[in-house]
């Protein structure tokens, strides 16, 4: 497999290319329907797809006469160059592949494509042949990932009153006392997960940006459980007279839907793949979010590892859920620089930190509240704690975070962690 250039930057997902000929509504609708069908097959059966990257020298997209003023003064936009187009067309023909989706990685100078392989082809053989092809920078399977939760609790609980006394992990970490020093104001957390009920009473106005990288189904986005649980733990509104309180109730949240729930009666855990996760990681690069929550995991993935490594090099603090078998293996747990978080209730894990992860009271779709378990929930707690620290010490780095949040030896103490950043914490509290 060809070596990647040392610097990896934003994967710009382009819904359309202004350098292409204009098409009428019927043709455009047909193209959109074809793309949706390919992505649906990709989500249903990733084993028939491969990810390929080829050289793509950047070509500036010219502005069209008569475009709106919003196009003037904006950043340069780039798309698939003619060289990459010719190369990909030749590869598709020679290997009997069908393009399903594509996106450029500009500063790396490559174009990534998800290809569907022929029905009678063996994916391992296709990847091996592509990896030896001089025109190919990277070839890998389209891989599946899943969120790290134990699924829906057996009993659905509907709450109508404040439930702070039931937030045992919140209390054990002395979070309420820590809020005297920081509530996460000015911290920005990117959450890559499923969708979430953005209009939940405890989330309304708390999520500043959403990006659905799976489909255009807004209704399903609002019904997604795992993202609602994770974001609820991190940033549920505080002091609003209802529900629960998030670990960092004043942090800014950007939510990227890269995972989805398979149709019933499939397994209840949400799934993701290399394609959707790569788009989400690339999107985060364009933001000022310094904290990234990844309550998910799966096999090692070269493309995703490169993207995450670039984010870490940009001084982002990446919080990931410990894999279920307590080994720091696969993506994202095995990427150097990632802070892995395991359940405090499961000692002996290889996680860097531990946090509450069993029967955690959080939000549920339908404006409800329920208990959830898994290292996904533990990671969400730590993302919230890191936001508390980052709000009063913007330059806090991974080594400091790991040291003052316990190094995996004990449940983090939010108050002691903030006090460890004194005197800056005290100066902020006295304002």
**How does pLDDT run across 288-341, given as a tens digit for each residue?**
999 999 999 999 999 999 999 999 999 999 999 998 766 778 999 999 999 999
Average pLDDT over residues 93-116: 86
Which range among 40-44, 281-285, 302-306 shows the weakest confidence by mean pLDDT? 40-44
**CA-closest candidate to residue 319, choices 347, 286, 269, 284:** 284
| Residue-wise pLDDT tens digits, 181-190 | 999 999 999 9
**Where would I find the H helices in 236-285?**
274-285
Instruction: Check whether 357 has a pLDDT greater than 80.
Output: yes
Residues 6+ apart with CB under 8 A from 197: 203, 222, 223, 224, 228, 363, 365, 366, 367
Q: Are the beta carbons of 401 and 339 closer than 8 angstroms?
A: yes
**Sign of torsion over alpha carbons 234, 239, 240, 242:** positive
Quote the crossing angle between the two packed helices 302-313 and 274-285, to the nearest 10°. 20
Alpha-carbon distance of 121 to 404, in angstroms, equals: 52
Domain boundaries, the chain: 25-66+73-142, 146-430
Mean pLDDT (the chain) is 81
Cβ-count burial 277-297 (b if 16+ within 10 Å, e if not):
bbbbbbbbbebebbbbbbbbb
First to last CA, the chain: 55
Instruction: Check whether 26 has a pLDDT greater than 70.
Output: no
* More reliable by pLDDT, 4 or 84: 84
**Where would I find the H helices in 250-374?**
274-285, 302-313
How far does Cα 233 stand from its chain's mean position?
Answer: 16
* Pick among 1.10.10, 1.10.1740, 1.10.730, 3.30.70: CATH of 25-66+73-142: 3.30.70
Global pTM value: 0.79
Structure letter (DSSP) for residue 3: P
Q: What class is the 146-430 domain?
A: alpha beta
Q: Is it true that 25-66+73-142 and 146-430 share their CATH fold?
A: no
Q: Are the beta carbons of 209 and 283 closer than 8 angstroms?
A: no
Tokens of 202: 């405890």
Residues 6+ apart with CB under 8 A from 115: 49, 50, 51, 52, 92, 95, 97, 98, 99, 100
């Amino acid at each position: 497999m060809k070596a990647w250039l040392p610097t990896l930057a934003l994967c710009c997902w382009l819904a359309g290319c202004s350098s292409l000929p204009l098409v009428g509504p019927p043709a455009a609708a047909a193209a959109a329907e074809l793309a949706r069908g390919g992505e649906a097959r990709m989500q249903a059966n990733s084993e028939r797809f491969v990810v390929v990257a080829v050289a793509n020298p950047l070509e500036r997209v010219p502005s069209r006469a008569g475009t709106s003023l919003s196009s003037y003064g904006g950043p340069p936009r780039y798309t698939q160059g003619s060289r990459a187009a010719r190369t990909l067309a030749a590869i598709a023909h020679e290997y009997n592949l069908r393009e399903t989706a594509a996106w450029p990685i500009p500063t790396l100078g490559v174009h990534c494509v998800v290809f569907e392989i022929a029905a009678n082809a063996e994916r391992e053989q296709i990847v091996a042949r592509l990896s030896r092809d001089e025109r190919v920078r990277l070839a890998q399977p389209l891989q599946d990932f899943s969120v790290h939760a134990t699924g829906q609790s057996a009993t659905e609980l509907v709450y109508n009153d404040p439930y702070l006394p039931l937030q045992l992990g919140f209390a054990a970490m002395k979070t309420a006392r820590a809020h005297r020093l920081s509530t996460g104001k000015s911290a920005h957390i990117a959450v890559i997960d499923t969708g979430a009920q953005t209009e939940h009473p405890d989330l309304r106005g708390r999520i500043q940006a959403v990006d659905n990288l799976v489909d255009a189904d807004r209704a399903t986005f609002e019904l997604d459980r795992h993202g609602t649980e994770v974001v609820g733990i991190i940033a549920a509104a505080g002091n609003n007279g209802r529900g629960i309180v998030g670990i960092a109730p004043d942090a800014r949240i950007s939510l990227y839907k890269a995972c989805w729930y398979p149709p019933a009666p499939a397994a209840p855990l949400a799934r993701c793949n290399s394609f959707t996760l790569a788009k989400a990681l690339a999107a985060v690069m364009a933001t000022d979010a310094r904290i990234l929550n990844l309550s998910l995991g799966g096999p090692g993935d070269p493309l995703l590892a490169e993207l995450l490594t670039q984010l870490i090099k940009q001084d982002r603090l990446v919080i990931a859920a410990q894999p279920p078998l307590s080994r720091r293996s696969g993506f994202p747990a095995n990427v150097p620089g990632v802070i892995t978080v395991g359940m405090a209730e499961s000692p002996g894990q290889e996680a860097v930190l531990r946090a509450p992860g069993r029967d955690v009271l959080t939000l549920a779709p339908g404006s409800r509240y329920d208990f959830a378990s898994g290292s996904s929930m533990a990671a969400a707690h730590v993302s919230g704690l890191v936001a508390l620290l980052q709000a009063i010490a913007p330059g806090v780095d991974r080594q400091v975070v790991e040291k003052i949040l316990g190094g995996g030896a004990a449940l983090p103490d939010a108050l002691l962690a903030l006090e460890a950043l004194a005197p800056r914490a005290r100066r902020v509290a006295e304002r």
